[in-house]
Structures are given as C-alpha cells and as structure tokens.
Structure 1
Amino acid sequence: MVMAEAVFQVPQKIKFPEFNPFVLKDQELIQIYIDTFKPFSCEYNFSNLYAWQDAYKLSWTLYQERLLVYDEISQCAFMPLGKDFCPEELVILSLNMKNAGLTPEFSLVASGYLKKFSEIENYFIIKEEPDYAEYIYDVDKLCELTGKKLHKKRNLISQFKRTYPDFKVHPLKGEARHKALGLAQSLMFRGKRRSHTLDQEFGAMEISFDSFDQLGLEGLAITVGNKVVAFSVFSQLNHSTYDIQFEKSDMDFKGSAQVINHETAKFLKNKCQYLNREQDLGIKGLRQAKMSYDPEKLITMYRLIFAPPN
C-alpha cells in the first residue's frame, strides 16, 4: 500500500523522547497517519491538535513508526496512532515515558482495542471517561428531522424562518468570518461569570480562523440583514465523517441554533454519512443539547493507567 509505506518515510530528527509543537508544516506528515489509520476520535484531527495545543499543552513525536501525542494538562498520551501495540509493547512505551519524566497513561483508547487485547488488564487499570464520549449523528436524519424527538427542532426552524424571512446562508469567508469571530467573542461576556472553558475555546477559534484555509477548514454563517447570528466550522475527519469543531448562535434570534445545525447538515449531506459533534465535557446544558438531537451513537473513550504487576 503506497500510503502506508509513506508513513515511515519521516525525518530522522522526529523521534521519541523529543516532542514537538504542532506547526503548519507538520500537517502533511500527520495527515498521512490520519488517512492511513483512520481514527474515529475528533482529537486526532490536525486542525484540532493545532488549535488547542496551547490550551492543553499538546506536543507530538514518533515512536516506533507510530504518532504519539502528549497532553501535558491531562497528564497522558493519546493512544499511539499506527499499527496496534500489543499490551506488552504498551508496557515498554509506558516505562520509556516514565523514564522521560512523563505520566505513563493513555487516553482515547477505543473499546475495540480493549476487546482485541483483553490481557491489557494485567498491566493497566481501565477507566471509562464518559465526559469525553463523542456524539455521532446520521447526517440524513439531521437533514430530515423526522420523528417526535426532533419535532421541537422543526418548529424552532419554522419559527425562525417566519420571523426572519430575509435570512441568508453564506460560506464562512471574508467579512462573514470576521463577524462570526465577533459574535463568538460577544457570547463570552453574556454570562454572569466568565467561563475558563469558553475562554480556551475562543483562543482555539482565533488560532483556527488565522489559518482557516491552510487547515482545510470550511464553514457556514447565517445572517439577518448585515448581522451574523450563527455560524459553524467543520472539516473532514475520515472518509465517512465530518467533525463539527465550532458552532455558535445568538440566542436573541430564537431558532438560530437549530437553523445553523440544520443548514450545516444539508451542506454536508453529499460529503459524508456522519457528523461528529465532539464531547460534552460533563457540562450539563451541553449534554442535554447534544442528546436532544438523538445521536446515532456515542463513542465512549477509555483511559489506561499503568499498573504493572508486582
């Protein structure tokens, strides 16, 4: 396989235990790993890695021809991206990480890996991380909005269209992109207290917007008159799925949240089968909002905590 062979033609200087920040020139190499091994988690999306690296102190290296990402804030490495390591090989990596002064734990571990290697329990404690489960939706269902569960969404969209018949849908470019960032910034100050999570998200959004085209991002904006009232930012995660990385709406325009969700699904209908709307991070309101759209499934992630036998 040509692409798989290309993975291993990498500069010799990129090697564990030296970790590197994510820069735009790394995208081609890292994208080869993503295209070859097709991770389901949005965390491996290069544009996410690039945009959120400051917030989570993310860095990367190569270890035995696998892509290894380390999250300094969460004190763990992402499960290595490449051919599966057997548990004994993960033990060796854990020991090497420990010797390098890193916490020898792994996040973003899929249930399929745990089933494939049941003996992993001999070396690691398995911890489910429900707050980091990723919400997966069928794009056709989000377009059609049929059924009782989505009845309220249809009504809100209809109400918005009746109230604002002059609304328009635009590509997120030029002035619309600038106004979208302004909307996101204004939303940060509407709550009673500033949210650290929203501050971090806005920082990641600024980084994304600064390198929007280079990162392969796409987006839509909903306008009423000259005002952007909602927008979304997305990119391809794998052959069947797009990742919705940012989505904001002005609650003063009732139904705008449902309209941007619906218009994004319609725009992506012929490009993918699923939408990954990322995690709820344990935020109650966000969890309710994501569940209200009747997800096709939740991809539950696990963490491996190194606990070798005595």
Structure 2
Amino acid sequence: MISFTKINDDNILTAAEYFKYKISRTSDYTIGAMYMWREFYDSSFAIYDDMILYRVKFLNRTSFTFPVGSGSLEKAMDVLKEYCQINNLPLWFCTVPEEYVPTLVDRFQGTIPAAPSRDWADYLYLAEDLASMAGRRYSGQRNHINKFKKLYPDYRYQRITPDNKHRIVDFLIDYEKYHSKDASLAREELKRSLELMPYLERFNLPGGFIEVDGVIVAITIGEIVNDTLYCHIEKAIRDYQGAYQMIVKEFASDMTTQYGIKYINREEDVGDEGLRTSKLSYHPIKLLDKYCVLLP
C-alpha cells in the first residue's frame, strides 16, 4: 500500500518535478500554492509508478487530486482505490480541472462529478492584456493608473531580490497589523505569505514591488509553470490610489518581457465579493472550473 508524506520545504521540489506534466492551467499544481496552504489543507503526497498523488483535507473530507506524471493513470487509480478500501474512505477527488473530468467519467464507470463551485474557479487572463491594458474595456483600469502616476510621478517598480527581500517581509508584517481584512481566510493567507518568503529563491518564485518616496506601497509574488504566470500573493496599500492596478500592470509587463508568458492565472476569489469584482474588472478570458469527483 502507498504511504503519504507531509509536504515540507525539503520535499516539495521533488513533488514539483511532476507539475510539467499537467495539461491544465489551474493553480493547484504549483509550488507556491502547495507550500502556502499545506497546513490549511493537511496536504501530503506519494509517488507511485512515476505519478504524483496528493492527499488533502478539502470540504472536511479526505480527498485526492488528479494524478499527474509520466506513468499509468490506471495503476495510480488502482492503488488509490486500494488505499481507500483499506482505510474505509470514499474515493473523492477535489479541484479536478475541467480537462480531466472526461477522463475520469470515460474510464471509470459510475464516476459522479459534482457541479463546480464558482468560489473556487481560477481567473485566467491573456498576459498581453494585463501588460498593456489597451482598449476601451480597460479604460477604468487606465484611469486608476494615470491617477497613480499623476500623484506619484517618481514611483519605482523593482523586482524582489535577496538584497531587498527583508523589506517585503517588513511590508507584510505591517500590512497584517494595519491593512488586512477581518476574514479568517484573509488572515490565514497573510500568515502563509510570510512563511513563503524565505523560500522565494529556492522555489524560483519571481516577485516585484512598487515604492513611493522610499515606502513600499504594493507587492506581488508569482510562479511560472510552462507558459503561465500564477499570482500567489498581491497586496497594496489602498491609501495610494491606483496602487493595485499599477502592480498588476508592472508585474505582467515585466514577466511577459522577461519570460514570454502567454497567460496569467490570478487564482480564485473564494467567494469574496470584493475580490470577485476586482478580478472581473481585469476581464479574464476564462474562468477555470474545478470539480469534486466521486469514484465508485
């Protein structure tokens, strides 16, 4: 029987070797997301026949993510069925990308996919759209950006480096004290963001920040897998009007120029109405649905 190991900073890079096999652009198979939320979802993994299998606690039940890798999907499914039978568990899969649902339904008779939750859908954008924000549909975003430039003409955008990373840590600590939301999930995110900071170079996570008169007013940290940039962390001080729009545009432009990315995934809104309004205002090309699927 397979044995699952808790995700930690020593083994997550081994797990990340399998991310290149994913065909979806959802954010769940990324180092940043896996590491940040490993405790929240009680995440662990096993490698079997060149496939990676994740076990998590999702919606208060033990669930698994869709196996990815170069091995046999049938063998991976068989070993998961055996694991669930021995442990008296239903075989639930969570956050299954839309692309994988037909595979489960076609190959495993009696498979039941549940309707996707809107709260967990990822927002996918064309990278060039966010880098340029051209056209009438982005006029509102450009108004905020132009306001920021007018108020703070000497602002600077910089990449996060080992030499300035301590300033980002200080920003997040102050943000937690003075600017964070009261929602428990938002506070959890800030806590996990600080946990991620020591590993930016090790996990190869690019980031950027904007400062005004020597004060950091916005930061962002992402991750590139294949042709897609995933934005794991994005914070700005709202007192600086347009700071959020500026960091979105500057980071998208920087990453598009440097790495030639085609898409940007700005992840879920988890049902937060403010986040939903904001993410929709940047005009995603698609909402990436994720499914919970029960195998008989």
TM-score with structure 1 setting the length: 0.84
User: What residue number does 2:235 align with?
Assistant: 248
Structure 1 residues 208-287: aligned runs within 5 Å: 208-237=196-225, 239-270=226-257, 271=259, 272-287=261-276
Write the distance in 2 (CA, Å) between the matches of 1:166 and 1:89. 55
Aligned partners of 1:109 and 1:303 also within 8 Å: yes
Note closer, same or farther for the CA distance 1:275–1:261 as it changes in structure 2 (3 Å cut): same
SS at match of 1:263: helix
Write the distance in 2 (CA, Å) between the matches of 1:241 and 1:73. 25
Structure 1 residues 67-146: aligned runs within 5 Å: 67-74=52-59, 75=61, 76-82=63-69, 85=73, 90=77, 93-100=80-87, 102-119=89-106, 122-127=109-114, 128-146=116-134
Q: Deviations over 1:188-217 (max 9, x none)?
A: 344797321122112221121021211111
The CA deviation at 1:28 is 4.1
TM-score with structure 2 setting the length: 0.88
1:41 partnered with 2:26: yes
Matched to 2:92, the amino acid is E
> Tell me, which stretches of 5 or more residues in structure 2 are unaligned?
none
SS at match of 1:269: helix
Structure 1 residues 7-46: aligned runs within 5 Å: 17-46=2-31
The CA deviation at 1:280 is 0.9
User: What residue number does 1:149 align with?
Assistant: 137
Write the distance in 2 (CA, Å) between the matches of 1:89 and 1:218. 33
Aligned partners of 1:138 and 1:273 also within 8 Å: yes
The CA deviation at 1:113 is 2.5
Q: Which moved more, 1:123-132 or 1:240-249?
A: 123-132
> Tell me, which stretches of 5 or more residues in structure 1 are unaligned?
1-15
Matched to 1:261, the amino acid is V
Q: Deviations over 1:54-79 (max 9, x none)?
A: 12211111234321111125431111
Write the distance in 2 (CA, Å) between the matches of 1:192 and 1:159. 24
Write the distance in 1 (CA, Å) between the matches of 2:184 and 2:156. 32
SS at match of 2:283: coil
Q: Which moved more, 1:207-216 or 1:16-25?
A: 16-25
Note closer, same or farther for the CA distance 1:136–1:227 as it changes in structure 2 (3 Å cut): same
Q: Deviations over 1:79-101 (max 9, x none)?
A: 11225735x97476235224235
Aligned partners of 2:231 and 2:265 also within 8 Å: yes
Matched to 1:143, the amino acid is A
The CA deviation at 1:49 is 1.3
Aligned partners of 2:113 and 2:293 also within 8 Å: yes
Write the distance in 2 (CA, Å) between the matches of 1:56 and 1:41. 17
1:63 partnered with 2:48: yes
SS at match of 2:153: coil
Aligned partners of 2:206 and 2:221 also within 8 Å: yes
Match of 1:293 among 268, 282, 286: 282
Structure 1 residues 156-235: aligned runs within 5 Å: 156-174=144-162, 176-190=164-178, 194-235=182-223
CA-atom RMSD in angstroms: 2.4
Matched to 1:80, the amino acid is P
The CA deviation at 1:304 is 0.6
Note closer, same or farther for the CA distance 1:148–1:84 as it changes in structure 2 (3 Å cut): farther
Aligned partners of 1:95 and 1:104 also within 8 Å: no
Match of 2:35 among 26, 47, 50: 50
Count residues in correspondence.
290
SS at match of 2:40: helix
Write the distance in 1 (CA, Å) between the matches of 2:118 and 2:236. 26
